[in-house]
Amino acid sequence: MAETKLTPQDFAPLHSEREVQSLSRPSLSYWQDAWIRLKANRRALISLYIVIFLLAFTVVGPWFWTIDPSTIDPDQISQPPGANREVVVTAPYEPWSIDSIVVPASGMALVGEPTTQSIRMAWAPMPGAFGYRVYRNHFPVEPGKALGLPLVNILNPDETWFEDRLNLKAQDYYYAVVATDATGNRISDPVSVDVLPERVITAEEAIRRGIASAEEPPAIGTPLKMKLHPLGTDYLGRDMLSRLMHGARVSLFIGIFAPFAYVILGIAYGAIAGFLGGIIDQFMMRFADFVVALPFLLFMIVFKLAFSVGAGESGIFAMLIAMIVLLWPGTARLVRGQILQIREEGYVSAAKLMGANTNYLVLRHMIPNTMGVILVTLTFAVPSAIFTEAFLSFIGMGVAPPTPSWGSMCNEGIKTMLTTPHELLFPAALISITVLVFNLLGDGLRDALDARMRSRE
């Protein structure tokens, strides 16, 4: 048997001790880990992008879309998005001269071109008439149905013409005329004519509205485009897009700032109570219990009244204060509970043993460890604050009228819901989307930040 020769190499370790114990993955801080988990959650990530987009929409939007939200466009009232904006320049209005009237042989006929400046009509004299009454309607004249708005009672049987200049729009009108007797009773069947007037504007008016330049006044007959409203206009002819952007400022300001303010107040209150402990803690928490017991929305209204300064202000500030006064106890309880819990943790005792002072304990252990829970609370507080603002504005207790907010826009939109649903739909959709994305983001953050509260899905 041959003797094996052993060399020092045979005694070298197969693996170095270091390699065996080295970590297979890089060490991650709490926040890096949370960020990775959030990134893996597609719903939360998309929500985060939408939140960023919404913030850009409200903060940067008004720089690009500079129309003032309170400017009224009287030519375009309650226009849905994509409405026809054509308008033709016309001569200034000239009174109708009697000589140019051509009375038709029978029935009713238009005289001249019908425009939104004036619609002129004449009809054949009716036998036995003492006078005539002219009606205007948006719906076709049918037997047995109302003729519409009576425009004029003519008391002269020879005057068989009429000029309508009353608030004309570029839409279908149905005119009807009936003969009347001496006491104004209708004595004949209606004779009618339907008309779609052309939208016109005088050159002077066009310059004043800013759709034509004053240096080169447009010639008569020039087609122009009226002001663009990408999302249409509301019932006063105000630009919806601009109002949505400015309304977002109110809604998101309250939605983000109010939770921040009351969460900070809650942290301070809860931390003080948790630290001091004993009878002061008992007393402070008992008080917080009472504030929690106040019915929230009722007291939002009552406090909103109390903190209002009076007429002429937007009411945002009062709403903010009322929200802070009512909502701080939730965070205070949470933070106090967390602090009481963390105080008993092993690592705090270890830090104390090693001589850490209170400042170090608070900054290094307490705050970072409560931060996750607080951030989650904050994200869920945003949608509820936006809801509250919308609710208050909807019942007319929120933001005062000239200032737009999504809630007050819904309140105005609901009145014209049947005819022009876009006035309600746009702000309602924005509120819903905002609340939805903040809820989803909150879910994602909770899953990423706080293992104990992780939802079971």
Partner 1 sequence: MWRYAFKRLIQGIITVWFIATATFVAMQMAPGDPLSGEKALSEEIRANLEAKYGLDKHPVQQYFIYMGNLLKGDLGISYTQQNRQVNDIIAEHFPVSAILGVLAIVFAALGGILLGALTALFRNKAPDVIIMFLVILGISVPSFVVAAIAQLSLVNINDLLGFSLLPVAGWGTVQHMLIPALVLGLSTMAFLTRLMRSSMLEIINADYVRTARSKGLPESRIFSRHMLRNAILPVVTVLGPAIAGITTGGFVVELVFAIPGLGRYFVQAVQQLDYTVIMGTTVFYGAFLVLMVIIVDLLYGWVDPRVRLD
Distance CA 406, CA 414 (A): 12
Distance of CA 409 to the CA centre of its chain: 7
Please tell me the distance from the alpha carbon of residue 279 to that of residue 245, in angstroms, as a whole number. 50
Residues at the site binding partner 1, with contacts judged by CB under 8 A: 290, 293-299, 301-303, 305-310, 383, 387, 390-391, 394-397, 410-411, 414, 417-418, 421, 424, 428, 431-433, 435-436, 439-440, 455-456
Q: 129 in helix, strand or coil?
A: coil
Distance of closest approach, residue 411 Cβ to partner 1, in angstroms: 8
Q: Do the Cβ atoms of 344 and 6 come closer than 8 Å?
A: no
For 176, phi and psi rounded to 5 degrees? -140, 145
Residue 32 structure tokens: 């890096």
- Cβ atoms of 430 and 244 within 8 Å: the answer is yes
Distance between CA atoms of 121 and 128, rounded to whole angstroms? 21
Compute the distance between CA of residue 122 and CA of residue 108 in angstroms, rounded to an integer.
Answer: 6
- Rounded to 5 degrees, φ, ψ at 226 are -75, 170
Q: Would you say 242 or 393 has its CB closer to partner 1?
A: 393
**Distance, C-alpha 452 to centroid of its chain:** 35
Backbone angles phi, psi at 377, to 5 degrees: -55, -45
Look up residue 266 and give its amino acid: G
Q: Which residues pair with 198 in a beta bridge?
A: 115
Smallest gap from residue 308 Cβ to partner 1 (A): 6
Task: Specify the residue, 205 or 450, whose C-beta has the smaller distance to partner 1.
Answer: 450
Pairing of strands 149-154, 223-225: unpaired
- Give the β-pairing of 131-137 and 173-180: antiparallel
Rounded to whole angstroms, the Cα distance separating 119 from 196 reads 10
* Closest distance of CB 315 from partner 1, Å: 12
Nearest to 51 by CA among 457, 421, 447, 439: 439
Nearer to partner 1, 173 or 426 (CB): 426
Q: How far is the CB of 310 from partner 1 (least distance, A)?
A: 5
Angle at 386 between CA 381 and CA 389, to 5 degrees: 125
Rounded-to-integer distance, Cα 173 and Cα 226, Å? 22
* Token code pair at residue 167: 């608030």
Q: Considering the complex, what minimum distance in angstroms separates the CB of residue 53 from partner 1?
A: 17
